[in-house]
Amino acid sequence: KEELRQRGLKVSGVKAELLRRLMVDGNDADSDIRPLAAEAQSFIPPPSKLDYIPDEKPDTQSPIEGCVDSSSAVFSAMSVPQLKEELRQRGLKVSGVKAELLRRLMVDGNDADSDIRPLAAEAQSFIPPPSKLDYIPDEKPDTQSPIEGCVDSSSAVFSAMSVPQLKEELRQRGLKVSGVKAELLGRLMVDGNGADSDIRPLAPDMVDRNDAESESDIRPPVKEARSFIPPSKLFFVPDEESDNKALPADVAEAIISDIAVELNFERWRVAGAVKLFQEGNLLPFIARYRKEVTGELDETALRAIESGLERAQKLEVRRATIISILTDLDKLTPELRAQFEDPALTLKELDDLYLPLRPRRRTKASDAREKGLQPLADAILGRPGSSQLFASGLKSRREDAAAVAAAVARDAARDLNLKVALSPTEALLGARAIVAEETMEMSEIRKAARDHLWSAASLKSTTRSKKKIGGREHSKEHTFRTYADFITPLRRVLPHHVLAINRGEKVKALSVDVAVDEFTMDRFKQWLEKKFQVEGEETEGAVHPSWREELVAALDDGIDRLLLPSLSREWRSDLTETAEAKSFEVYAVNLRQKLLQPPLKGLVVLAVDPGLRTGCKVAVVSPTGVPLAFTTLKLSFGKGDKDAAAVEELVEIFRKHGVQIVAIGNGTGNSEATALVVSALKRLAADEGTADDLKYTIVDESGASVYSASEIAARELPDLDVTIRGAVSLARRVQDPLSEYVKIDAKALSVGMYQHDVNQKALADELARTVCGAVTSVGVDLNQASPALLSHVAGLSAKTSEAIIVARDSMKDGRFDNVAEVLKVKGVGPNAFKQAAGFLRVYEGKEPFDATEVHPESYPLLRRCLEKLGSWRETEVAQSALQSAAEEAGMGELTLRDALTSLRRPRNFDPRDTLLGVPPPPLLSAADAASTNKALTLGDIKVGMEIPGIVKNVVDFGAFVDLGCGADGLLHKSNFPRGKEREQVAIVGARSIFRVTSLEITDLNSKKARISLDCALGVGGLLVN
């Protein structure tokens, strides 16, 4: 930008735009730069060689030094570690982002007086525009891909490609081209042509750049490494016919053994599951159709194994990254390699070993070393032979430390040609910094600190001062008043406490710290001082006491400045990770319960989406979910004429469309809408002289507005207003909750715990797995399912689901005749079909088994078994006969048993009816509404009042209950009923009568209140029956 400013050109834009303006600037804008692309080939080597360009005299200068003056473009192709190494060799500052490093190299200390502007003009003679620099064609461009020649030589080349280039390379290899860059990289690095390539060449690009002086957390490289290679690809095992190599046997065996011990599973079951995961199989398919291999492990157990495998993958990625980095830095000795390759190392122990060896930014210790103070630090530590580093025998540990420091400083000034020697105090401070850094980075000390200090550490939070909080201090202090003076041991802190404190810290309402008990800290310091006590120090007169003082001061500094902050960050990170995992678990359990609520199929449903200002939106849908009618009813707020007109209109709709059930949203205006519907029901019963045959139910509105404005809703209901689409969605939720909820982002359903304060990508992945598990547990009608529902079937994606819908619509009757026809759909390969086929259903098709849970791969074997078993449908098959038939047909016994169970089920069987034990939504009559004594507004609620409610969300500390007044109540876990009823109330959608035990209204207009509840009638109360 500075160069552009001097040339009078525009300085805004990304780097590529800035470069282009410099290369085609006002001085020679008429010249075309496209012909330069060919000429650039002679200057710029292939991508695999772009890491650095050796000079003609490699023995006398830096590998890239000879190129600095001839081509500044070389620097832009370097990785950040390479740039830092070049700067380090030149004695320049190595901290900062890549742009700063580049500028220092182009205007460095050896040539600081030269202006960089001449380089811009020179660059124009050989550097093509940015669009041409993306890749350099191979020597044989007519016979292979522009980057194909580089794939086997260095997989790191992929990371430098743009997304279009990656997709083109995938297309040429016949691989899937959709997804984000990380997924594309993973496919290229572990594809059929190059699965044997090692991921370690990528390591130089993954060097930890978070090297703050007190920073000891080296997890960023792991995160960066995982952004290059998806974990599921790292342990890919090719087919037996493939020439590609699988994992080393010892690594695989160690991983399987560790997981088996950790989860307390038989080793053969874990080994079978791991092998299936390595082969690319998905969890739902393994759980349902590979029971013989896993010993009937359920989804929960398989997920635990998959998580253990991911942790092992993370450890191996980290190990390979560290070894590669140290190899490149020439720091990896045989002894170090043996330590790093120890299979018993944990991730933390691995990082501790790497900590003193990793590339780092400038610190107090590095500055002190550059000033020649390492001998003084060695003397403070009393290292063997340290006295030999002094210039004369007078400078020994028998002398006063300050006197020795002065002598060392003078020697350093002489040897390093420093203008002014350091004072003794400055020299000792520098030596202390070296001692502090070296001791606090020792793996043994860090492990001892974790073991000793963890049990005595506490998490503390206090409110920040009003001056720091700003203008909203009152509301923030009120929100986080529970944590205003909070302290609890780290080993006992609860997940929701961690997430709440993290939120308070993020909004700057809380100050958070980790404190260690003083007694424990003093004992640890004594142990540390004893560990570094030099032999002979206890002998009076042998060692000057000032050396001990310097050692103690250095250790204290290291603990306070380096060790404790590092451990605090580590502990808080571990607590957050554990809390987030619990949050994911809570969200997954609640979401699964919500998705698998029993449907009320085959009914004409009228839905009312309440609204006070804009009126109630009403929609009627057919048994198949097709909108039949819609309107908007204005609420009267006590004006009888309007009430009568709205009631009359509702009654007319009931009669005209044969409405069988009414669904009312639970949002703002629910009480008023319910009163309107109840009046209409009474009027209908009175006019026809019948009992209350028409019922109503309350439906959760969460996510309805998100669906209304979504692209899916626009495609499904293009002619309806956005507000009406919400009402249609409510009606469909009654008919088939699963099919409707999958159209909405799971995070919009509001059934989580601190969902906005956790890792959003990890949360999205967990919820995607949950939705997939729910969909596959029910099965999908291939001829009725929406693209959104199909996309959540194991093995299918959004793109393949759309292709299936297009293929279905193009068929003669607009339907598939059998599941096998899905294989003909573009984008559905054999493996995707294998994963998905068992969860797809085709009713009344050519293949009867397609209507069952039997996988198509088992059809021939199943037919042989059925012929042998004879009358299997009428009578229960004996175990011996089952085993004999399975062995004779070559079919797994467990697979055969599940197939027979599926074949015996009736045509209208729905696993949701019995899967969770959650009853269908209660259908209420007008008489029921009158007997519930339901409060109309928040202002009507009083302590001691009994109110019907619906459990909306279950978290660690209790359940949030929708009371229909606009504010939810909290049923604390201590107030849960006992026995079986306790389990039943902890289910999303459970209904009961709740008693208000305390009430604190903070804002009546905004309906903000804290309402504490107790169970009044238990789960067996009115609304459940």
Give 236-292 pLDDT, tens digit per residue: 333 333 333 355 677 778 888 888 988 899 999 999 999 999 899 999 999 999 999
- Residues 383-435 have pLDDT tens digits of 765 544 444 444 566 678 888 888 888 888 888 888 888 999 999 999 999 99
Residue 167's pLDDT is what?
80
Q: What is the DSSP string of 27-39?
A: TSTTS-STTHHHH
Average pLDDT score over the chain: 77
Is it the case that residue 598 has pLDDT exceeding 60? yes
Residue 391's pLDDT is what?
40
Instruction: Taking residues 57-69, report their average pLDDT.
Output: 38
- Residues 872-922 have pLDDT tens digits of 776 677 888 888 888 888 899 999 999 998 988 888 888 888 766 666 777
The proportion of the chain whose per-residue pLDDT surpasses 90, expressed as a percent, equals: 33
Query: How far is CA 963 from each of CA 170, 177, 190, 742, 927, rounded to the nearest angstrom?
Result: 54, 49, 53, 26, 19
Residue 65's pLDDT is what?
39
Residue 907's pLDDT is what?
81
- How would residue 1 be classed by pLDDT, with cut points 50, 70 and 90? confident
Give the residues across from 971 on adjacent strands.
Answer: 959
C-alpha 480/C-alpha 473 separation (Å) is 11
Residue 427's pLDDT is what?
92
Residues 6+ apart with CB under 8 A from 253: none
**Can you tell me which residue has the tokens 């923030």?**
476
Residue 690's pLDDT is what?
66
- Residues 179-215 have pLDDT tens digits of 777 777 777 765 533 333 333 333 333 333 333 333 3
Instruction: Taking residues 595-608, report their average pLDDT.
Output: 91
Residue 799's pLDDT is what?
93
Out of 34-48, 610-624, 693-707, which region has the weakest mean confidence (pLDDT)?
34-48
Is it the case that residue 128 has pLDDT exceeding 50? no
Out of 91-100, 134-143, 821-830, 839-848, which region has the weakest mean confidence (pLDDT)?
134-143
Is it the case that residue 299 has pLDDT exceeding 70? yes
Residue 68's pLDDT is what?
36
* Cα torsion 173, 178, 183, 185: sign: positive
**Can you tell me which residue has the tokens 């550490």?**
457
* 101-110, 664-673, 808-817, range with greatest mean pLDDT: 808-817
Is it the case that residue 802 has pLDDT exceeding 50? yes
Q: Output DSSP code: residue 422.
A: P
- How would residue 931 be classed by pLDDT, with cut points 50, 70 and 90? low
- How would residue 466 be classed by pLDDT, with cut points 50, 70 and 90? low
Lateral strand order in the sheet of 485-489 = 485-489, 457-463, 510-516
C-alpha 149/C-alpha 521 separation (Å) is 58
- Residues 822-875 have pLDDT tens digits of 999 999 999 999 999 999 999 988 999 999 999 999 999 999 998 888 777 766
- Residues 753-776 have pLDDT tens digits of 888 889 999 999 999 999 999 999
- How would residue 952 be classed by pLDDT, with cut points 50, 70 and 90? confident
Which of 433, 447, 443, 442 has the alpha carbon at shortest distance from 557?
433
- How would residue 692 be classed by pLDDT, with cut points 50, 70 and 90? low
- Residues 959-988 have pLDDT tens digits of 888 887 778 888 988 888 876 667 667 778
For residue 330, how many other CB atoms are within 10 A of its CB? 7
Which of 176, 233, 38 has the alpha carbon at shortest distance from 798?
176
Residue 546's pLDDT is what?
83
Extract the tokens encoding 245: 């190599």
Higher pLDDT, 693 or 457: 457
Residue 123's pLDDT is what?
38
Residue 839's pLDDT is what?
95
Extract the tokens encoding 9: 């050109």
Residues 6+ apart with CB under 8 A from 515: 457, 458, 460, 487
C-alpha 276: how far from chain center = 23
Query: How far is CA 10 from each of CA 3, 106, 122, rounded to the nearest angstrom?
Result: 10, 22, 21
Instruction: Taking residues 319-346, report their average pLDDT.
Output: 89
C-alpha 1020/C-alpha 1025 separation (Å) is 7
C-alpha 302/C-alpha 264 separation (Å) is 13
Out of 58-62, 459-463, 598-602, which region has the weakest mean confidence (pLDDT)?
58-62
One-letter amino acid for residue 1010 of the chain: R
Higher pLDDT, 151 or 767: 767
C-alpha 686: how far from chain center = 57
Residues 6+ apart with CB under 8 A from 91: 109
C-alpha 380: how far from chain center = 46
CB 557 within 8 A of CB 528: no
For residue 58, how many other CB atoms are within 10 A of its CB? 11
3-state secondary structure of 420: coil
Residue 159's pLDDT is what?
66
CB 881 within 8 A of CB 866: no
Higher pLDDT, 495 or 231: 495
Is it the case that residue 513 has pLDDT exceeding 70? yes
Largest CA distance in the chain: 117
Cα-Cα end-to-end distance for the chain: 73
CB 739 within 8 A of CB 785: yes
- How would residue 689 be classed by pLDDT, with cut points 50, 70 and 90? low
- How would residue 801 be classed by pLDDT, with cut points 50, 70 and 90? very high
Whether pTM > 0.85 for this model: the answer is no
Is it the case that residue 792 has pLDDT exceeding 90? yes
Instruction: Taking residues 58-65, report their average pLDDT.
Output: 38
Residue 238's pLDDT is what?
32
Query: How far is CA 828 from each of CA 70, 174, 287, 590, 609, rounded to the nearest angstrom?
Result: 52, 13, 22, 32, 40
Out of 116-130, 539-553, 670-684, which region has the weakest mean confidence (pLDDT)?
116-130
One-letter amino acid for residue 749 of the chain: L
Is it the case that residue 540 has pLDDT exceeding 90? no
- How would residue 302 be classed by pLDDT, with cut points 50, 70 and 90? very high
